[in-house]
Amino acid sequence: MSRHERKEDAVRRMMAAGHAHVPGDLAARAVARGTRLLRRNRVLRRIGWTLLAAAAVAFLVWASVARPWEAPPAGTTPPLEGW
List the chain domain ranges. 25-65
pTM: 0.60
CB within 8 Å of 27: residues ≥ 6 apart:
none
Query: What pLDDT tens digit does each residue of the chain (83 aa) get?
Result: 789 899 999 999 888 888 878 899 999 999 999 999 999 999 999 999 999 999 999 999 999 999 988 888 777 777 778 76
